[in-house]
Amino acid sequence: MKTTALIIAIIGCIALGIFGVEQSKKLQAQSEELMATKQQVAALEAELKEKSEAIENARSVEAKSRILQKTLSESTTAAVAESKKSEKLQASLEEAKTNNPMHTMASMLKDPGMRDLVKNQQKMTLGPIIDQQYGDLFKQLNLTPEQSATFKDLILKKTLAGTDVGLSMMDGSLDASQRAELAKQVKAQSEEMETEMKQFLGDNNYQAYQSYEKTVPDRMNISQFNQQFAGTATALTSEQQNQMVQAMSDARNNFTWTSSLNKQDAAASGDIAGMLTEDNIAKFTAEREQFDQQFLNKAQQILTPEQYASYQKFQQQQRDLQLMSFKMARQLFSK
């Protein structure tokens, strides 16, 4: 949850990926159909030429006339029809090549109904995640079930605070000043929710929440890994999970991140496209690989050899997914 804008950029990655795959399939099918059509036109032209030569050799003028009339009628009609079909396919193919499926998705998100759908999907997805990731905090703060439900609602509202604004930032027609203004709105909404949380928890519990909040990304990482191997010998024990979370948090605090993509206020200016440059993404990816390798050295002391090998593969998968998300977000926010 580093920045709301980045979270919004990654919203519906699966949907966007499916959309892009379908566009590619459509493009491939159209290309194949166009090629087949061109071959048919070429075959008709060859047939017309062949029959024309046969006409030249015909002994009878009357037979020549009949052959010519029939050939021209059949071949011309077919050739014209296939030619029009070819032109139509060519135009459709060119349009498919130039259209950016990410921009098409951004246009769809201008629709209020589509935005409501995205927000509702977020609520359904985030509810169980909050229960899982903040359950230990609720116990740590000794919250009653009613208090836990109220605080969970505040966390959900904070997470969703910038959704509307974030979706608006996908509009490619916005200029730099408009995006900056939207980014200010996200920050203001987030700060407002933080104030509500502090008032609800009190000073001491709020400080405990802030400390716990910093470990949430690491808790989510370890939880996702453990869920893949639930019920198997590779699954982590409760003690191992706690040790891994603590080790990852310590490693993160001691690692020097220089990439702007890892800064807390990375999207404060609203210039998402300017932030997601090839150089910035490459720099972040290189630092992420370096951090992961350093953490693996610590993880090796906690995990069994089998668990270590599985977690190493999991790390690579996570890096690949993050890189894909950045690239998709860059394409989505590009002008």
pLDDT at 31 over 60: no
Least confident piece of the model among 180-194, 229-243, 282-296? 180-194
Average pLDDT of the residues in 212-220: 91
Domain boundaries, the chain: 20-98, 107-201, 216-335
> For residues 7, 9, 15 and 18, what is the CA-based torsion angle, rounded to 10 degrees?
-130
Average pLDDT of the residues in 62-71: 59
CB neighbour list of residue 325: distance below 8 Å, 6 or more residues apart: 9, 10, 13
How is residue 309 written in tokens?
């090998």
Report which of residues 223 and 73 the model is more confident about: 223
Average pLDDT of the residues in 72-98: 57
pLDDT tens digits for 156-208? 888 877 666 666 666 666 777 877 787 788 788 888 889 999 999 999 999 99
What is residue 268's predicted lDDT score, i.e. its pLDDT? 54
pLDDT at 330 over 50: yes
What is residue 20's predicted lDDT score, i.e. its pLDDT? 45
Q: Among 254, 242, 189, 235, which Cα is nearest to 212's?
A: 242
Is the overall model pTM greater than 0.75, yes or no?
no
CB neighbour list of residue 290: distance below 8 Å, 6 or more residues apart: 255
What is residue 209's predicted lDDT score, i.e. its pLDDT? 94
